Amino acid sequence: KTGRWLGGVTPTGFASKQVTYTDTNGKERKMHKLTPVEDELEVVKLIYSKFLELRSLTKLETYCIQNDIKSKNNVDYSRFALRNILTNPVYATADKTMYDWLAEQNIEIYANENDFDGLNGIMAYNKTIQKQNTSNKQRDVSEWIISVGAHPGVIPSSKWISVQKLLKRNRSKA
């Protein structure tokens, strides 16, 4: 509910930073929040724009390889990695449009509608099924838990939603 980063590998474009805050009881506490990594976020913005232009993960993968656009680990982007970036709500701006879309998808939102003020990004929890000795499987969007993050939004909600609709349309063609 606090929009903090709970740990694990940070999404491309962000780093985890420890911050100190005072809770409602006046006690000093520590938490982690996502902080922008600007050069990586430029790549993320390019990925969103190019996907909407090319309308295909395969074409986007080819574009990234041909233009030597590498991941933060300096490897070529796979379609799988690109899809993970494109479906991650962490980049989307938390505004009224996003709130309405999330509500339409029957996603549990742990924030008030007025918290969706267009300044911060989204934190999504419960996105994957965590089982030992298996790769993480994505849960259905309806099982996600959403709150407003402590980090800035990067991709306008309308653009993020357009990408989700296009991915869904492409999936049905496959």
Residues 150, 4 contacting (CB under 8 angstroms): yes
Q: Per-residue pLDDT tens for 73-92?
A: 999 999 999 999 999 999 99
pLDDT confidence of residue 167: 95
Q: Per-residue pLDDT tens for 116-159?
A: 999 999 999 877 776 666 666 777 777 888 999 999 999 999 99
pLDDT confidence of residue 121: 95
Q: Per-residue pLDDT tens for 18-71?
A: 988 888 889 998 888 999 999 999 999 999 999 999 999 999 999 999 999 999
pLDDT confidence of residue 50: 98
pLDDT confidence of residue 46: 98
Residues 60, 48 contacting (CB under 8 angstroms): no
- The answer to whether residue 166 scores a pLDDT higher than 90 is yes
Dump the DSSP string for 120-162. Answer: EEEEEES-EE--TTSPPEEPPGGG-EEEEEEEE--B-HHHHHH
pLDDT confidence of residue 171: 85
Instruction: Kindly indicate the confidence band of residue 101, based on its pLDDT and cuts at 50, 70 and 90.
Output: very high
Total-model pTM: 0.88
pLDDT confidence of residue 133: 62
Q: Which residues, 6 or more positions from 25, have their beta carbon under 8 angstroms from its beta carbon?
A: none
In whole angstroms, give the CA distance from residue 64 to residue 120. 28
- The answer to whether residue 8 scores a pLDDT higher than 90 is no
pLDDT confidence of residue 134: 60
In whole angstroms, give the CA distance from residue 22 to residue 40. 31
The CA-atom distances, in angstroms, between 117 and each of 36, 38, 81, 110, 123 are: 19, 22, 29, 15, 14
Over residues 12-21, the mean pLDDT reads 91
In whole angstroms, give the CA distance from residue 12 to residue 116. 23
pLDDT confidence of residue 60: 98
